[in-house]
Amino acid sequence: MLTGIHIVILGGDARQLEVISKLNELDATLDLVGFDQLDRYYTGVSKVDLEDIEYEKVDAIVLPVSGTNGDGVVETIFSDKTIRIHEDWLKKTPEHCVIYSGITTPYLSNCAKKCNREVVKLFERDDVAIYNSIPTAEGTLMIVIQNTDITIHQSNVIVLGLGRTGMTLARTFDALGANVRVGAREPESLARIREMGMTPFQIKDLESQVVDVDVCINTIPAKVLTGKVLSRVPSRALIVDIASNPGGTDFRYAEKRGIKALHVLGIPAMVAPKTAGRIIGNVLSELLLEKFVEEDDESGL
């Protein structure tokens, strides 16, 4: 149980509602900032403004998956107020206070470093990323179906990157009968693609691989779908880029060529916020128990 542990949840989307429910079940003391328009009621949970928090009592801060933007502003869909993390605020928290975020940003990392506060990046964990790849794959499949006039079965699908999300995407489209080719750089990734029964190719050979593609899904956060590559892509093809900003596609040139190229972020929150929120909530609760409860038990030995 997290009885007596004071946690501040700053902003977020529908996924945070599952996180709130999970932490509330564990009896944590919760302050919600950026949820003033939320009509759901949680027993024992307080909706407060940033300036009303008792900073000296805060054990943990939970940010949205996106962390903060370049100015420290936290995204929220349940409030019209601007929520911003800054050094003066963070320095008022105890030294043991931990920040939990899906990812970090230069602003967040710099702010935490200056205040000597730890930032735990949940989406860098293999378990979170693998679990999260499931709603990502389902959502990507939905987007492809909505934006094409052909079946997945027997279509030519290219997946770029065999990371934790790329692997789930490749398997999903392969299971539906697509002709799946997967681009990667590392020899072990190419071997794994072959073992999975799909066709591997080196990213450096992408230009020759796209000439007959129907759907190209990019997971690589680097410019791989350059103008030179896109010049070989059929204009009827669909590109779904799910890589973090700014994506891996030359979207300007794709538009010029008449290729439909979509940059889609936060797919789990769009298609399965409850499942995606439970994934975050379960892992986060384990980390909090490990950090605060187990440490207290050990110190009492």
Which CATH number covers residue 190? 3.40.50.720
| Over residues 154-183, mean pLDDT | 98
Pair (91, 172) in one structural domain: no
Pair (295, 242) in one structural domain: no
Pair (177, 252) in one structural domain: yes
- According to the model, what pLDDT value does residue 41 have? 82
Computed from CA positions of residues 41, 122, 59, 71, in that sequence, does the dihedral angle turn out positive or negative? negative
Pair (150, 248) in one structural domain: yes
Asked if pLDDT for residue 221 goes beyond 90, the answer is yes
Q: How far apart are CA 178 and CA 171, in angstroms?
A: 10
Which residues contact residue 252 at a Cβ distance below 8 angstroms, ignoring those fewer than 6 apart?
Answer: none
- According to the model, what pLDDT value does residue 43 have? 86
| Over residues 97-111, mean pLDDT | 94
Inside any domain, residue 1: no
DSSP 165-183: HHHHHHHHHHHTT-EEEEE
| Over residues 64-83, mean pLDDT | 92
Q: Which residues of 182-196 are buried (b: 16+ CB within 10 A; e: fewer)?
A: bbbeeeebbebbeee
CA angle, 58 then 62 then 68, to 5°: 115
Pair (277, 261) in one structural domain: no
Asked if pLDDT for residue 299 goes beyond 70, the answer is no
Inside any domain, residue 88: yes
- According to the model, what pLDDT value does residue 284 have? 96
Inside any domain, residue 226: yes
- According to the model, what pLDDT value does residue 296 have? 56
- According to the model, what pLDDT value does residue 60 have? 97
Computed from CA positions of residues 142, 13, 42, 99, in that sequence, does the dihedral angle turn out positive or negative? positive
Pair (67, 104) in one structural domain: yes
Asked if pLDDT for residue 206 goes beyond 90, the answer is yes
User: Where does residue 297 rank: exposed (0-12), middle (13-18), buried (19+ CB within 10 A)?
Assistant: exposed
Across 11-15, 167-171, 194-198, 233-237, least confident range: 11-15
Which residues contact residue 63 at a Cβ distance below 8 angstroms, ignoring those fewer than 6 apart?
Answer: 10, 11, 12, 74, 85, 99, 100, 101, 102, 108
| Over residues 59-76, mean pLDDT | 93
16, 26, 79, 114, 295 from 39: Cα distances, Å: 14, 22, 11, 37, 36
Total tally of structural domains belonging to the chain: 2
Asked if pLDDT for residue 252 goes beyond 50, the answer is yes
Mean pLDDT of the chain: 94
143 secondary structure, DSSP code: H
Predicted model pTM: 0.86
* The pair of three-digit structure tokens given for residue 71, joined into one six-digit string: 């100015």
Kindly report, residue by residue over 79-100, the tens digit of the pLDDT: 999 999 989 989 999 999 999 9
- Which residue carries 């501040």 as its tokens? 8
Pair (209, 141) in one structural domain: yes
Domain of 149, in residue numbers? 127-265
Pairing of strands 199-202, 179-184: parallel
Pairing of strands 73-74, 83-84: antiparallel
Which residues contact residue 42 at a Cβ distance below 8 angstroms, ignoring those fewer than 6 apart?
Answer: 20, 21, 24, 30
The candidate with the shortest Cα–Cα distance to 157, out of 237, 97, 276, is: 237
* The pair of three-digit structure tokens given for residue 59, joined into one six-digit string: 């054990």
Q: How far apart are CA 65 and CA 80, in angstroms?
A: 19
- According to the model, what pLDDT value does residue 301 have? 42
Asked if pLDDT for residue 139 goes beyond 90, the answer is yes
| Over residues 16-42, mean pLDDT | 93
Across 37-51, 99-113, 196-210, 219-233, least confident range: 37-51
Asked if pLDDT for residue 300 goes beyond 80, the answer is no
| Over residues 200-215, mean pLDDT | 97
How far is the first Cα of the chain from the last one, in angstroms, to the nearest whole number?
19
- According to the model, what pLDDT value does residue 44 have? 84
Residue 294: count of CB within 10 angstroms of its CB = 10
Find the length of the chain: 301
Confidence of residue 298 (pLDDT cuts 50, 70, 90): low
Pair (135, 260) in one structural domain: yes
At 216, give phi and psi (nearest 5°).
-120, 125
Pair (236, 132) in one structural domain: yes
